[in-house]
Structure 1
Amino acid sequence: MGQVCLISGPPGCGKTSWALKTLQDHGGPCAYLRLEEEPEAGLEQGADSGIDLNWLKDQIPRLEEATPSNAADLKEEDDALTLIEVQRFRTPTQEGIDGFGINVRSKLDALQLQPDHVMHFGRDPELPSNDTLEFSKLEAWHTSLSGCVWDPDSLSSFWFELVNGAYGDVYRAKGLMNLPDGRAFFCNWMVSQQGSQFLPLDATAPPTGRPSRTSELVVQGKALNPEGMQATINDCLLADDVLTAQQQQLQQQQQPTLES
């Protein structure tokens, strides 16, 4: 029989990092699922924009997304692990799945998944608690960057401004960002950490045109300025003619290497 593990915790506590290490260390088949908990007054959840799933699948190509078509089979498969991540601000007052709202329970029922292990960051000693913060109020903002390509220097400048208060008191920011040379980066920051993470994806896209892979940005904090963030982002993204020129230059630089 396969195992189903559910972890929950507030934004930025390390859920996805823990999931990455746990899934990498697991030798058998594995799947991942992110669920949204019941909304709480004054506490906005970060959008499930596919950032976590796509980052994990890049790092673990064999990883599957738990869906109605495969969840039951994974549960029956020996040595399979299904890991479920839930963003939850408060510590559950009841044990197991009973401590969660109808949103989570109904989706698990639809998938015929009953967790064997349920753990919460800040409560269970098996999980690290150094980045577990308590929030009394939190705003969230999300923008899709599908097909967008950043000027690298502009991305660095925008991210520095973002995490240093230029667009409000940002507590949590994460995104998948495309660069003109075909690389993409997982950008990750939490107010409790010393600095940002800029982690390259293993998969690259050909530097020809606009990539089709997931590219999103999610920000959580207080007194956020969405208009300001979006305006700056628009100025940082490469227009078609500039992107084409940069990619043609990259192709010319790579040509001698390909011919030699």
Structure 2
Amino acid sequence: MIWTMLNTWYAQRLMQRSRHGKALKELPPGLYNYWKGSANLEYHGIPRDAVFFARSAIGLLDFFECAAQGGKPCALPSKAADSVWHAWLRLSPLKLETFCRKHFGRVVPHVEASAMGGNLDEALAVCLVRARHAEGLNREGPRLPSLFLLDKKLKMPLGYGYSVQHGQPGYSQLDARGRFDPNISCPPQMAAAGLLTAGLITTAQFNDFEQRARQQATNSSDSSGSSCGSGCGSSVDCSDASSTSCDSGGSSCGSSCGSSCGGGGD
């Protein structure tokens, strides 16, 4: 009982302190209870406490913020956030449309990965750049925004575990207990060079990334007993290179859905 009360209090605090705090106050009153009672039917083993819901709802609004910019398909990198989206679509789809128009300027349609067409990794790259920008991170990387770290942080069963290896973002599927497999796939579309090719970053931003990478390599070679330079932030996984492989081929498995909003720009 006490744990439930503390969990509920902390969940409310998380939503109040989020940059989406005003919008989160307008979530449907019954959404949490509906999600709690139905999410496990679709996402087996998913935790259903208030804090998990709060973090997932915040992640969903992070995604709405990215997808609503339009112009290019935008893929959702979190099954935890998607669980709230699915529940909301079942509970009150018209109210969801009204909510998105009010807080993000347009409806954000839910599109399954199989129906998005094109390259899903390119749509993930769009989301990555926009989410980085929203959090004040360098668009070119290497740090990952919170939306891309959500499933890994929440230990979402069979979710998507994102990490950065050797300066390049990648992902692997979490296991049924939400444990991360460090053998990640690193799609070239999400690397700085891929972002430049897609027109998601400028040449100047790419050059800045290259310069920081060279500086980090220099710092790393000067640091005894360390495989990571001083440029590694809290959202960069500085795993030992010997225990990690980064497949650059990509597998288009880092998202199960996304959105394709017409019009607008990046």
Is TM more than 0.5 here? Answer: no
Measured against the shorter chain, the TM-score band is under 0.3
TM-score if structure 2 supplies the norm length? 0.28
TM-score (norm 1): 0.28
Bigger helix fraction: 2
Point out the structure with max Rg over C-alpha.
1
